């Protein structure tokens, strides 16, 4: 990992990046100001956001794991797990649960090396279709982020795992 990437993330920068599914809009999930900026960019209310977990150990430390994570991670899944402490990352998800991902993508593996959870939400205005290439991302979004990382995406949203069951998104 470049030290620039880690420094930018720890400094609260907001960025666009590729995952194994769609382009993501991300920041350090522990940085409340950066998370608020993502909500503002998307025009999104307090609806919960998901994160890329820094490691399986981090997931086990902070969330109640009641399924085989290895069956889904890394991969195109968002797993909804209960928090051990309901107040944990409450600015990301005000509920008692948190959506977690470990995308099977080289850039996302680099993000994990920061050691902090990273917001992962599709790059679009709330309720609008996701962008499948950098050129499709609205200028109003690109102009509000600090940097953009290009890469390959599959174009399909992640599959949700809720209570151990797959929920395919439309």
Matching CATH number, 3-167, of 3.30.70.3270, 3.40.50.300, 3.40.50.620, 3.90.870.10: 3.90.870.10
- Give domain limits for the chain: 3-167
For residue 81, which phi and psi values (nearest 5 degrees)? -125, 150
Q: What is the pTM of this model?
A: 0.95
- Report pLDDT digits (tens) over 83-97: 999 999 999 999 999
Beta bridge partners of 36: none
Alpha-carbon distance of 11 to 14, in angstroms, equals: 9
- Report pLDDT digits (tens) over 121-164: 999 988 888 888 999 999 999 999 999 999 999 999 999 999 99
User: Which pLDDT value is given to residue 54?
Assistant: 98
- Report pLDDT digits (tens) over 8-34: 999 999 999 999 999 999 999 999 999
């Amino acid at each position: 990992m470049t030290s620039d990437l880690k420094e930018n993330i720890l400094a609260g920068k907001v960025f666009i990046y590729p995952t194994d599914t769609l382009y993501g809009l991300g920041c350090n999930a522990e940085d409340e100001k950066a998370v608020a900026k993502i909500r503002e960019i998307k025009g999104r209310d307090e609806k919960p956001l998901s994160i890329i977990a820094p490691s399986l150990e981090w997931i086990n430390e902070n969330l109640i794991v009641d399924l085989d994570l290895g069956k889904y991670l890394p991969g195109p899944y968002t797993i909804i797990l209960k928090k051990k402490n309901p107040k944990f990352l409450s600015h990301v998800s005000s509920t008692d649960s948190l959506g977690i991902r470990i995308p099977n993508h080289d850039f996302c593996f680099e993000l994990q090396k920061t050691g902090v959870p990273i917001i992962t939400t599709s790059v679009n205005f709330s309720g609008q279709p996701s962008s499948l290439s950098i050129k499709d991302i609205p200028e109003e979004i690109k102009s509000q982020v600090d940097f953009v990382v290009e890469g390959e995406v599959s174009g399909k949203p992640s599959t949700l795992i809720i209570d151990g069951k797959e929920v395919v998104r439309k």
